[in-house]
Amino acid sequence: MAKSRRQFDGNVLLYYTLMVLILCSYGIPVYMGITLLIPVTSNITAWVLNTLAVVILASTLKPVWNWAQPRVHHLVYAMDDPQLEMIGQMSDSLASTSPEDSMLSTIAETIARTVKLPYVQLETGSGTIATYGVPVNGSEITRIEINYREESVGWLEVTSRLPKEPLTSSEYGLLNSLARQVGITLHAARLSETLQASREQLVTTREEERRRIRRDLHDGLGPTLASLRMQLSAVRRMVRDNPDQAEQLIDELRDDVSTATAEIRRLVYDLRPPMLDELGLIAAIKNFKLADYTTQLEVIAPDPMPRLSAAVEVAVYRIASEAIHNVVKHAQATTCVVEVQVDAHHLTLSVTDDGKHSLAGHTSGVGLQSMQERAAELGGTFSIQTVETGGTHIVVRLPLES
């Protein structure tokens, strides 16, 4: 086995050389000062002076070493890039920005102060503008695009310090480096805003759903059950004295109970299709009742189907049902193939028909928006294309929890 040769590290040599020099620059003058400047007398012999010098040095060299060691280490090994220092300053400044302060204003001010520019302007894609300082008359304007990965998220506009004096190449390079950091910051801020908006929408949707359920129960089912109770009381009073009228009332009650049962079924279906629990996702899709019996439905799926979350199951079921409904209603297709593929991270649902009218060009009225929203709610994607025969090919890809 070949021995690995340790490469010579010049920084190690420099580090220890500096440490030795610093200790010597302290130790030698102190020793010489004590032993040579203090006069030797009968009481203070040379041995005493030497001992005193050694004791003083022994007690003070360690603190001097402890003080110098990290500083020399930093001097020798720390990266000495002014760009890094300025990026660090900007990061510190942003971290100390309170939520009430405008982040763009803080970024503009930080860039102006770190690069020492008289004027900085920031624009984002939404048109928001933040400025700092005042431009110098006649000074050259430099405009730098702020990108996050390959997406433009804004513009950085600065002016030079003196009229007709452009920025130096190092300053331009520094501004580009800062713009990259700003791009990351703006993207993170936008994600945070989107997340907050999603949370608010989630809460709003949940409360709206609760309100709808409450309304359905309170205005629909509630009065129906109350009416049934009163009618039952009336039947109880009539059953001995007027059995014919009681029988008629009982028939009416049976119809009312059927209506209430249907109402409950509707409420339950809106919450979650019961066939998903009774048959499972694939069997529920296979059991779609097609209005047009000339269209053949074919379902291809893994067997056994892996366990999916309730949200994904409902989304796949509703998207498939909407797509199949569109095929039957609009496409004039003879065959509709629904395919479900599942891997470790995604579920892919595709619905393909051989109809003569493609739905790819439609933008509304056929539930496409509904399908897109259901996919987007779960962080998935939706695409629709026209196949060669004229039919439609819909692909929905949903992420799965690990």
Partner 1 sequence: MNKLSRSTGLKIAAVIVLGLALLDMIVYEIPDLARGMAAVNASEGPPFFIVILGFAFDVLAIVAAYGAWRAERWGVILVIVISAYSSISGAGAAIFNPSMATRILGAVAVVLYLGVIYLCLRREPKSLANSVGD
Residues paired with residue 298 on neighbouring β-strands, in sequence order: 337
Give me the least distance between CB of 32 and partner 1, in Å please: 5
Give me the least distance between CB of 154 and partner 1, in Å please: 21
Question: Per CB under 8 A, does 246 bind partner 1?
Answer: no
Stretch in the footprint of partner 1 (CB under 8 A) among 91-99, 179-187, 205-213, 388-396: 91-99
State which residue, 22 or 246, has the beta carbon closest to partner 1. Answer: 22
Question: Per CB under 8 A, does 76 bind partner 1?
Answer: yes
Stretch in the footprint of partner 1 (CB under 8 A) among 21-29, 40-48, 324-332, 363-371: 21-29
Tokens of 168: 């130096």
Tokens of 10: 């010049």
Question: Per CB under 8 A, does 12 bind partner 1?
Answer: no
172 touches 142 (CB < 8 A): yes
Question: Per CB under 8 A, does 185 bind partner 1?
Answer: no
Query: Starting at the edge strand that comes first in sequence, how are the strands of the sheet with 151-163 ordered?
Result: 129-133, 119-124, 151-163, 139-148
Figure out which of the listed residues 62, 71, 214, 254 binds partner 1, where binding follows CB under 8 A.
71
Give me the least distance between CB of 25 and partner 1, in Å please: 4
φ, ψ for residue 118, nearest 5 deg: -75, -25
Give me the least distance between CB of 364 and partner 1, in Å please: 52
Question: Per CB under 8 A, does 32 bind partner 1?
Answer: yes
Question: Per CB under 8 A, does 36 bind partner 1?
Answer: yes
Instruction: Give the footprint of partner 1 on residues 115-174 (CB under 8 A).
Output: none
Question: Per CB under 8 A, does 89 bind partner 1?
Answer: yes
DSSP category for residue 221: I
Question: Per CB under 8 A, does 94 bind partner 1?
Answer: no
Is cis: bond before 63, omega within 30 of 0?
A: no
Stretch in the footprint of partner 1 (CB under 8 A) among 32-40, 222-230, 275-283, 319-327: 32-40
262: amino acid identity, one letter: A
Give me the least distance between CB of 317 and partner 1, in Å please: 56
Figure out which of the listed residues 1, 37, 134, 344 binds partner 1, where binding follows CB under 8 A.
37
Give me the least distance between CB of 103 and partner 1, in Å please: 15
- CA torsion 156-116-100-196 (nearest 10°) is 30
Figure out which of the listed residues 12, 13, 24, 188 binds partner 1, where binding follows CB under 8 A.
24
Tokens of 294: 């000339």
Give me the least distance between CB of 196 and partner 1, in Å please: 28
Q: How far apart are CA 205 and CA 263, in angstroms?
A: 22
Give me the least distance between CB of 96 and partner 1, in Å please: 7
Q: Give the DSSP letter string of 42-96.
A: SSS-HHHHHHHHHHHHHHHHHHHHHHHHHHHHHHHHS---HHHHHHHHHHHHHHT
Question: Per CB under 8 A, does 290 bind partner 1?
Answer: no
Buried b (16+ CB within 10 A) or exposed e, 114-153: bbebbbbbbbbeeeeebbbbebbeebeebebebbbeeeeb
Beta strands in 289-391 (DSSP E): 296-300, 335-342, 346-353, 381-386
| Binding region for partner 1 (CB under 8 A) | 14, 17-18, 21-22, 24-26, 28-29, 32-33, 36-37, 67-68, 71-72, 74-76, 80, 89, 92-93, 96, 109-110, 113-114
